[in-house]
């Protein structure tokens, strides 16, 4: 025990002493080196996928490593092409432009509603004392651990009972609230000082008015976080739309459309088509991400603090 106590500070001071000279330069180089390497690892798969999506099919197979068209065995060069995109957008039974609309429509409606429902519920669990609150909360946390796959068929049967299969309702309503979001909001509301509400109560404000006028505006960071997760999750969801839609391909969202493309080509995956489809599926989300990146980053950062 005494030895370790003696050793620790000496290591600390030694490395500290080295810092200003050689250490500082090395540290800067190492820092940027590691970060650039990781940034490349995160971005390059997309760069390869996007570049290859504009190449001819045989070129993709022969030269996946090239970011520009390669050369055939006989010496003639391959050229850039939009063939993958044309084929994806013109696939007979899939209306890709409509799928883009569907993805946006569903993601936006679900996001708005989920933010509203989750924050109401989160507030009730955090602040309002009512019977059954404890049970409701425990049950909610429990649902986080349920493997989503098991809900697939029972949920379909319920949607069928409601007569919602092949309608937008089935893509929207089941996702208006989720346990994770409620949990997040509850954590947030618990962190707001009670005095604020007590002050409002004296003014005779009703719970609802207080919530919408005073509490909710304070919750913007938490709401942003949840909105981001809701939008992202809905945009990328595959299993949900898969069970909600049977025959109505007009309501396909992008992930479903992509899965369908894969089915069209069978085992011999036609990579120009699939890469183009992947780019189409990712692009709108990527654009939104770059425009609102600050909110994304803040939103995600926020969740950890309140975990």
Site for other proteins in 81-110 (CB under 8 A): 91-93, 101, 105
Locate 15 and state its tokens: 């490395």
215 binds other proteins (CB under 8 A): no
Binding mask of the shown chain, residues 26 to 65, with x at each position contacting other proteins by CB under 8 A: --x--x--xx--xx-xxx-xx-xx--x--------x--xx
Locate 283 and state its tokens: 């692009």
Q: How many CB atoms lie within 10 A of CB 291?
A: 10
Closest Cα to residue 239, out of 104, 176, 147? Answer: 147
221 binds other proteins (CB under 8 A): no
Minimal distance, residue 77 CB to other proteins, in Å: 20
20 binds other proteins (CB under 8 A): no
| CA 191/CA 221 separation, integer angstroms | 13
263 binds other proteins (CB under 8 A): yes
Beta bridge partner(s), residue 80: 55
- Reduced to 3 states (helix: H, G, I; strand: E, B; else coil), residue 82 is coil
The span of 68-76, 77-85, 162-170, 192-200 binding other proteins (CB under 8 A) equals 162-170
The span of 73-81, 190-198, 276-284 binding other proteins (CB under 8 A) equals 276-284
| CA 81/CA 38 separation, integer angstroms | 31
134 binds other proteins (CB under 8 A): no
Applying the rule CB under 8 A, the residues between 278 and 307 that interact with other proteins are 278, 281-282, 285-286, 289-290, 293, 296-297, 300-305, 307
Considering CB under 8 A, how many residues would be counted as binding other proteins?
125
| CA 197/CA 193 separation, integer angstroms | 8
Distant-in-sequence, close-in-space partners of 287: CB < 8 Å, separation ≥ 6: none
- Residue carrying the six token digits 């063939």: 83
Identified binder of other proteins from the candidate list 74, 129, 202, 204, rule CB under 8 A? 129
| CA 175/CA 106 separation, integer angstroms | 10
Residue 90 has what DSSP assignment?
T
Locate 277 and state its tokens: 């489809």
The span of 10-18, 71-79, 192-200 binding other proteins (CB under 8 A) equals 10-18
6 binds other proteins (CB under 8 A): no
Q: What are phi and psi of 199, to 5 degrees?
A: -60, -40
77 binds other proteins (CB under 8 A): no
The span of 73-81, 191-199, 231-239 binding other proteins (CB under 8 A) equals 231-239
- Residue carrying the six token digits 């089941």: 174
Applying the rule CB under 8 A, the residues between 243 and 262 that interact with other proteins are 243, 246-251, 254-256, 258-260, 262
Minimal distance, residue 26 CB to other proteins, in Å: 13
| CA 106/CA 120 separation, integer angstroms | 21
The span of 72-80, 168-176, 191-199 binding other proteins (CB under 8 A) equals 168-176
């Amino acid at each position: 025990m005494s030895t370790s106590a003696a050793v620790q500070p000496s290591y600390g001071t030694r490395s500290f002493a080295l810092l200003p000279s050689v250490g500082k330069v090395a540290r800067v180089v190492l820092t940027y080196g590691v970060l650039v390497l990781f940034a490349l690892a995160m971005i390059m798969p997309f760069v390869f996928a996007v570049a290859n999506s504009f190449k001819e099919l045989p070129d993709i197979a022969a030269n996946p490593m090239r970011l520009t068209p390669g050369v055939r065995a006989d010496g003639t060069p391959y050229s850039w092409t939009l063939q993958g995109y044309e084929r994806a957008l013109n696939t007979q039974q899939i209306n890709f432009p409509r799928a883009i609309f569907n993805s946006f429509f569903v993601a936006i409606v679900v996001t708005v509603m989920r933010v509203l429902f989750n924050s109401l519920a989160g507030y009730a669990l955090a602040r309002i004392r009512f019977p059954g609150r404890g049970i409701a909360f425990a049950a909610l946390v429990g649902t986080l651990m349920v493997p989503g796959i098991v809900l697939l068929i029972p949920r379909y049967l319920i949607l069928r009972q409601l007569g919602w299969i092949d309608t937008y309702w089935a893509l929207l309503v089941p996702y208006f609230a989720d346990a994770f979001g409620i949990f997040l909001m509850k954590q947030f509301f618990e962190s707001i000082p009670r005095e604020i509400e007590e002050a409002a109560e004296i003014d005779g404000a009703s719970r609802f008015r207080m919530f919408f006028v005073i509490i909710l505006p304070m919750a913007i960071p938490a709401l942003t976080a949840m909105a981001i997760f809701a939008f992202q999750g809905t945009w990328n969801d595959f299993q949900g739309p898969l069970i909600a839609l049977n025959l109505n391909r007009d309501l396909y969202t992008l992930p479903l459309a992509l899965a369908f493309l894969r089915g069209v080509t069978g085992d011999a995956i036609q990579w120009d088509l699939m890469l183009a489809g992947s780019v189409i599926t990712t692009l709108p989300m990527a654009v939104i991400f770059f425009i609102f990146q600050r909110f994304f980053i803040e939103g995600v950062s926020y969740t950890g603090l309140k975990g």
